[in-house]
Amino acid sequence: MALCLTSARLVLRLPAVSDAPFFCRLLNDPDYIENIRDSGIRTTEEAAEYIEALMLANWHETGFGMFVVTGRETSRPLGVCGLIDRAGLDDIDLGFAFLPEARGQGFAQEAAEACIQWGRTEKQLPRLAAIARFSNAPSLSLLARLGFEPAGSYRPEGETEVLSLMMLTLSATSVSASRT
């Protein structure tokens, strides 16, 4: 599976085991732990296992997953963004997370727009869901800018915390992204 999305400044590609150092850093970022979850992954070896056992397996089993977002000029990983077939949700979920130095530069919005366009055109999805902690104002603000609207709450299976659920109805409106 050689799937890659591009935008003006970014390349969104499938994860690889060689991304383990990047994933170890991202998954241990204090903001990631606070706003998404503590994965318990602490070493690059554990990150490599996570990539193989969860991320790549998810792509192969469902046709959906998280992309590694890199700079188009540098190929340096900045974050992740993608569409996830999440248990307990009726619709495919848009997710994203970026390293601290990549925040506040519009990368998350640009990557999310590419994923939305891919979901609309390639996967022909009628709508997308997105979930975030009620306390995660930056993510909720970005989702609103992308056109997501509040749709209630969602509690992930096996979890006690209730999250904000937002929905986006997809239409033929174009977003600047292309599949290569």
At 59-90, the pLDDT tens digits run: 999 999 999 999 999 999 999 999 999 988 99
Note the pTM of the prediction, 2 decimals.
Answer: 0.92
Check residue 157 and give its pLDDT. Answer: 85
The H-or-E segment that residue 129 falls in is: strand 127-132
Check residue 179 and give its pLDDT. Answer: 38
At 16-50, the pLDDT tens digits run: 999 999 999 999 999 999 999 999 999 999 999 99
Flag whether pLDDT at 54 surpasses 80.
yes
Q: Kindly give, in sequence order, each residue whose CB lies less than 8 Å from that of residue 76, ignoring residues fewer than 6 positions away.
A: 70
Query: What CATH class has 4-179?
Result: alpha beta
Residue 19 near residue 81 (C-beta atoms within 8 A): no
Q: Kindly give, in sequence order, each residue whose CB lies less than 8 Å from that of residue 102, ignoring residues fewer than 6 positions away.
A: 78, 79
In the predicted model, what is the mean pLDDT of residues 131-147?
97
Flag whether pLDDT at 156 surpasses 70.
yes
Flag whether pLDDT at 128 surpasses 80.
yes
- Name the amino acid, one letter, at 98: F
Going 141 to 11 to 19 to 166, the CA torsion angle's sign is: positive
- d(CA 74, CA 147) in angstroms, rounded, equals 30
- d(CA 176, CA 178) in angstroms, rounded, equals 7
